[in-house]
Amino acid sequence: MSEELLLHPDRLFSADPTQRSIARRLYQTIKDLPIVSPHGHTDPKWFAQNECFSNATELLVKPDHYLLRMLFSQGITLESLGIGKNREGVESDPKKSWKIFAEHYYLFQGTPTSLWLDYVFVNVFNLTERLCAENADSHYDTITACLQQDDFKPRALFERFNIEVIATTESAIDDLTYHQQILDSGWSGKIITAFRPDNVIDPEFEGFEENLSILADMTGINLETYSGYLESLKVRRQYFKKMGATSTDHGHPTARTLDLTEQECDALYSKIRSQQYSGEEADQFRAQLLTEMAKMSVEDGLVMQIHPGVYRNHNQDLFDNFGRDKGADIPVATEYVENLRPLLNKFGNNPKFSVIVFTLDETTYARELAPLAGHYPALKVGPAWWFNDSPEGMRRYRQQITETAGFYNTVGFNDDTRAFLSIPARHDVARRMDCVFLAELVSDHRISEQQAEKIAYDLTYGLVKKAYKL
């Protein structure tokens, strides 16, 4: 039974009439500001080659781990969604996979996924019915037909979405070919990269040794010594910076940092390179490297981002058969106060250093991160991340961060997504939820509406540009 699909103009605003009217007025002042997307995972190839996206399933279902996760949790196999090359029983008809997704779209009620997708269905594809089994085929056809048109090509969508700048994320050993192609093309869209060195910093990353060989080749530097190794990372950072990067990103299991002596570093590096290290030593190495990255940030001005606290690939069988990023990453409790101290004691008061820290452990918002960000000049708190990039997640974020860190030790919104079409939807949810929070502060007279307007602008546009040096 299909239901009409409407995006209510007041969606996410409080039902209370006073708060709703304030939120509405605030939202009017920011809703059309350009999108600044300083951290995400769109594919630069899209913008370099500007080819049509193929079909609804390839674009909207298969790459979205939020979707895969939820469908899998209800017994839908990845094979039936067309995932898992060379496996038996992989569905080859994307329309059939889309149908399965549509039949289970009800699972996403009350989750941000439905907010994002409904926004895309209405605003990008002009669909007027909520997705369900009955309209699965026609929705598939409509979307897929649209995607063949010029104005649904990546660059056209980028412009239509009013994106001022978007940062992709590339590994330290990526050659940034696509970014070069974009620059060479003369297209005005601003696509920058971000330096993500996990695969050459984490000894336990798949292919670490091989990655170091590539790094040595790329930089022409001998990586036998720790100083050579650090030098090669500096060189790559320089290259990323030249290609537009303003930030680095670090996805570590924990927020641990260390400040070892030169001698200790040399000895540890030797162990790592000889592949004779314990789990603890691998962890020490990652911890020391965060401090080294901070040091390089002081020198080259790249803003550091730390994204810790995820148990990656928790489902061994799924990982063995389908690889990474299939929805089996699970957050864990994460400690910041002890862990960040070595780094902060070295660079936390340094006006040339800036580090943005994220968390999936909301217990640290009020207890650890807001107090740290509300004290150290170098530290800012990143926005509600991943599982918490949602209306209730954002509400908790503002409620738990603001009273200690204020608004000005935060950095605006990150969409952090590879789901390109959802970017405007995600920013819209963030803008609305900021207005909801501000409207409450105005309605109970904690701030004036005049103050709220200025803050709304800063949360949407001012802070992100400043924090990421854009």
- Selected range binding its own copies among 16-24, 162-170, 194-202, 216-224, rule: CB under 8 A: 16-24
For its own copies, the binding residue among 27, 46, 72, 277 (CB under 8 A) is: 72
Residues numbered 377 to 396 that lie near its own copies (CB under 8 A) are 377, 379, 387-388, 390-393
Cβ count near 454 (within 10 Å):
14
CB-CB contact of 296 with 302 (8 Å):
yes
Nearer to its own copies, 11 or 465 (CB): 11
Interaction of residue 207 with its own copies, rule CB under 8 A: no
Cβ count near 1 (within 10 Å):
6
Nearer to its own copies, 53 or 461 (CB): 461
| Measured distance CA(130)–CA(122) in Å, rounded | 9
Q: CB of 184: closest distance to its own copies in angstroms?
A: 39
CB-CB contact of 2 with 105 (8 Å):
no
Interaction of residue 240 with its own copies, rule CB under 8 A: no
Residues numbered 304 to 343 that lie near its own copies (CB under 8 A) are 311, 314-318, 327-333, 335, 337-338, 341
| Measured distance CA(336)–CA(391) in Å, rounded | 25
Nearer to its own copies, 230 or 459 (CB): 459
Interaction of residue 410 with its own copies, rule CB under 8 A: no
Rounded (10°) angle between helices 226-242 and 208-219: 70
- Selected range binding its own copies among 69-77, 95-103, 263-271, 273-281, rule: CB under 8 A: 69-77
- Residue 280, token pair as written in the block: 């603890």
Interaction of residue 283 with its own copies, rule CB under 8 A: no
Nearest to 302 by CA among 344, 342, 356, 339: 356
Judged by CB under 8 A, how many residues of this single chain contact its own copies?
91
Interaction of residue 31 with its own copies, rule CB under 8 A: no
- Residue 256, token pair as written in the block: 């641990």
| Measured distance CA(305)–CA(378) in Å, rounded | 12
What x-and-dash track marks residues 345-384 binding its own copies by CB under 8 A? x--xx-x--------xxxx--xxx-xxxxxxxx-x-----
For its own copies, the binding residue among 55, 169, 193, 409 (CB under 8 A) is: 409
Amino acid type, 169: T
What is residue 304's three-state secondary structure? strand
Q: Which residues contact 123 (CB under 8 A, 6 or more apart)?
A: 7, 424, 425
Interaction of residue 278 with its own copies, rule CB under 8 A: no
Residue given tokens 């992989």 in the structure block? 90
Nearest to 384 by CA among 393, 371, 373, 374: 393
Nearest to 274 by CA among 322, 330, 212: 212
Residues numbered 425 to 464 that lie near its own copies (CB under 8 A) are 440-441, 443-448, 450-451, 455
Nearer to its own copies, 288 or 443 (CB): 443
What x-and-dash track marks residues 89-118 binding its own copies by CB under 8 A? -----------------xxxxxxx-xx---
Nearer to its own copies, 209 or 392 (CB): 392
Q: CB of 265: closest distance to its own copies in angstroms?
A: 21
Q: CB of 22: closest distance to its own copies in angstroms?
A: 9
Cβ count near 184 (within 10 Å):
9
- Residue 281, token pair as written in the block: 């030593």
Nearer to its own copies, 244 or 348 (CB): 348
